């Protein structure tokens, strides 16, 4: 059941990413955020009620609430035209909590793949804080691309492999390492190509001015 929820988390992240890139109308994206937000609240509630007081199962089921409330918050905010500051600062809370869930997956469950995936989510929600909470609008294209890519890498692909039975626990550590390398290479490479043209020009001018000053 949780794997089905993960599949639709990937879908809503992809949709929100292309919304940030200006390809999808915000109000139409809001409706799907509400659908997935409701799913990500109902699913962990069911899993917790059926966990039989197993603390590990309850811990694992509690994580999706962080994202379910995000999508509900975003969906309602887009439909009602609310200021984004609230969801931005909530995203900071999610980013910090995601670091904790990552640590638990690494140390308690020895699940290196999902430990890495929680780090992806911590990074993404911190970007949401910068964009929506601190209004750093120059990050919009970068955050859009990161969001869309994470939709596939942390949601759709893992969920598809888990649902089809191709996610092998014996490859857990290798998957975690591969995810880490992918994140560093791709998200670092995205930064210079997604910066606003004006920002790149100002950076070049500052560099040129520094060089000229040094020549004198």
Which residues contact residue 1 at a Cβ distance below 8 angstroms, ignoring those fewer than 6 apart? 43, 46, 47
Contacts for 125 with CB less than 8 Å, ≥ 6 apart: 70, 91, 92, 94, 95, 98
Q: Give the tokens for residue 132.
A: 């929506």
138 pLDDT exceeds 60? yes
Contact assessment for residue 155 and residue 11, using Cβ atoms and an 8 Å cutoff:
yes
Q: How confident is the model at residue 204 (pLDDT cuts 50, 70, 90)?
A: very low
Residues 142/148/152/155 CA torsion (nearest 10 deg): 100
Angle at 127 between CA 122 and CA 130, to 5 degrees: 130
What's the pLDDT at 212? 43
User: What integer pLDDT is reported at residue 216 of this predicted model?
Assistant: 47
Q: Work out the angle between the directed axes of helices 2-20 and 55-80 (0-180°, nearest 10).
A: 30
Q: Where is average pLDDT lowest: 88-92, 134-138, 201-205? A: 201-205
Q: What is the mean pLDDT of the chain?
A: 91
Q: For the residues of 145-174, what is the DSSP string, one character each?
A: HHHHHHIIIIIIHHHHHHHHT---GGGHHH
């Amino acid at each position: 059941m949780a794997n089905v929820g993960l599949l639709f988390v990937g879908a809503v992240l992809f949709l929100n990413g292309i919304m940030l890139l200006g390809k999808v109308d915000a109000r139409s994206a809001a409706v799907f955020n509400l659908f997935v937000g409701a799913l990500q609240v109902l699913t962990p509630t069911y899993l917790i009620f059926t966990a039989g007081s197993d603390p590990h199962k309850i811990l694992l089921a509690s994580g999706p609430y962080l994202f379910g409330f995000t999508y509900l918050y975003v969906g309602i905010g887009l439909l009602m035209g609310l200021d984004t500051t609230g969801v931005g600062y909530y995203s900071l809370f999610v980013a910090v909590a995601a670091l904790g869930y990552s640590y638990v997956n690494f140390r308690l469950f020895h699940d290196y793949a999902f430990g890495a995936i929680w780090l992806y989510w911590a990074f993404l929600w911190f970007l949401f804080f910068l964009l929506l909470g601190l209004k750093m609008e120059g990050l919009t294209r970068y955050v859009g691309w990161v969001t869309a890519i994470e939709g596939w890498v942390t949601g759709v692909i893992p969920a598809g492999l888990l649902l089809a039975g191709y996610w092998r626990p014996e490859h857990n550590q290798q998957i975690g390492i591969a995810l880490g390398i992918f994140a560093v290479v791709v998200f670092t490479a995205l930064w210079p190509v997604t910066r606003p043209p004006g920002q790149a020009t100002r950076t070049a001018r500052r560099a040129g001015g520094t060089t000229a000053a040094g020549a004198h």
